[in-house]
Amino acid sequence: MTGVLKAKVHVFLKPGVLDVQGKAVEAELHTLGWDGVSNVRVGRAIEFQIAGDDPTRARDEVNRMCERLLANPVIEGYRVEVA
Amino acid sequence: MKAAVLVFPGSNCDRDCKVALERSVGAQVSMVWHKETELPAGLDLIVLPGGFAYGDYLRCGAIAALSPVMSAVRDAASKGVAVAGICNGFQVLCEAGLLPGALLRNVGLKYVCKFIDLDVVNGQTRFTAAFGETRTARMTMGNGEGNFFADEDTLDRLEGEGQVVFRYRENPNGSARSIAGIVNEAGNVLGLMPHPDRAFESALGSADGALLFKSVMASA
């Protein structure tokens, strides 16, 4: 019987790309008194299930999904978790 | 001149583009639903209109770029047919890899909707030849993600090859090097954030957009 794995994809703008949402959130956190906060980045998390038993293979599959659709490699980097 | 305007779920300037093409250059315009796998024969121009294709879900243009019709657009573009992506259409062309770069959230995080003055940087393209001695163009813009981004090497290449076609006189959204519109290397695919389709006759506040459609017609 085929199992089901859980995938979680985190997508963030690449370090060199100005994250204007991150800047706005950071400024607001400073306003609220959290002066020590820096380098806020706002990204996106995408969760789904994927049929299969082999996490390594599933991770490869999810990486391909990131390249095709889930992230835009011109501006975004991504991190994949499969368990 | 024969033109096609693509219609994605969430396009909202598709009919504006049709009317603009009919009135400014008397084009015969077909509306093509994004699920189509073929385009009408003998097209001189394909327009990807403004709007919010697929609700801008995931990223602007990301899902539309994978629509069935985009294979036919890619094919037509490789054969030299003129392709113009306006606003959301520009985002779709970048996501589809037909143009370099990407459109980021506007600096300031605001949706910017106003008249905007542009410099016609390259008047030698299929989309700008009719501007002639006119080196400025007034159109409207309306976007929240119109902040053009590309890495420095790509920007240098775009400038060096004359692929930067329109530039904002006053940068409204943080676009790299104030870029408002670019063409691909072959010069037949244009991406432009401001709307020539909302500025094609003086009753709309400007008729400069008509010059873009006239340029394409002259090259057809």
Q: How confident is the model at residue B133 (pLDDT cuts 50, 70, 90)?
A: confident
Mean of the pLDDT values across residues B132-144?
93
C-alpha dist (Å) from residue B52 to A69, B9, B158? 17, 8, 27
Whether B150 and chain A come into contact, CB under 8 Å, resolves to: yes
CB-CB: which of A21, A70, A72 is closest to B95? A72
Q: Indicate which residue of B13, B17, B60, B87 is catalytic.
A: B87
Number of separate domains in chain A? 1
Residue range of the domain that includes A15: 4-82
Question: One digit per residue, pLDDT tens: chain A, 83 residues?
Answer: 689 999 999 999 999 899 999 999 999 999 999 999 999 999 999 999 999 999 999 999 999 999 999 999 999 999 999 99
| Residues with Cβ within 8 Å of residue B48, at least 6 apart in sequence | B6, B73, B83, B84, B85, B86, B88, B89, B90, B92, B93
Q: Determine the pLDDT at residue B71.
A: 98
ipTM of this complex:
0.88
CB-CB: which of A20, A21, A69 is closest to B62? A69
pLDDT averaged over chain B? 97
Q: Determine the pLDDT at residue B213.
A: 97
Q: Determine the pLDDT at residue A1.
A: 63
Min Cα separation A1/chain B (Å) = 33
Q: What is the pLDDT of residues B61-93, one digit of tens each?
A: 999 999 999 999 999 999 999 999 999 999 999
Is the predicted pLDDT of residue B11 greater than 80, yes or no? yes
Min Cα separation A69/chain B (Å) = 7
3-state secondary structure (DSSP) of residue A7: strand
B98 contacts B189 by C-beta, under 8 angstroms: yes
Task: Report whether CATH 3.40.50.880 matches the domain B2-219.
Answer: yes
Concerning whether B113 is annotated as a catalytic residue, the answer is no
Question: A20 and B104 in contact by Cβ < 8 A?
Answer: yes
Q: How confident is the model at residue B37 (pLDDT cuts 50, 70, 90)?
A: very high
Check which CATH number belongs to the domain holding A67 and give it: 3.30.1280.10
Q: Determine the pLDDT at residue A2.
A: 81
* Contacting residues of A for B58, CB less than 8 Å apart: 69-70
Q: Determine the pLDDT at residue B132.
A: 87
Q: Determine the pLDDT at residue B184.
A: 98
Q: How confident is the model at residue B134 (pLDDT cuts 50, 70, 90)?
A: confident
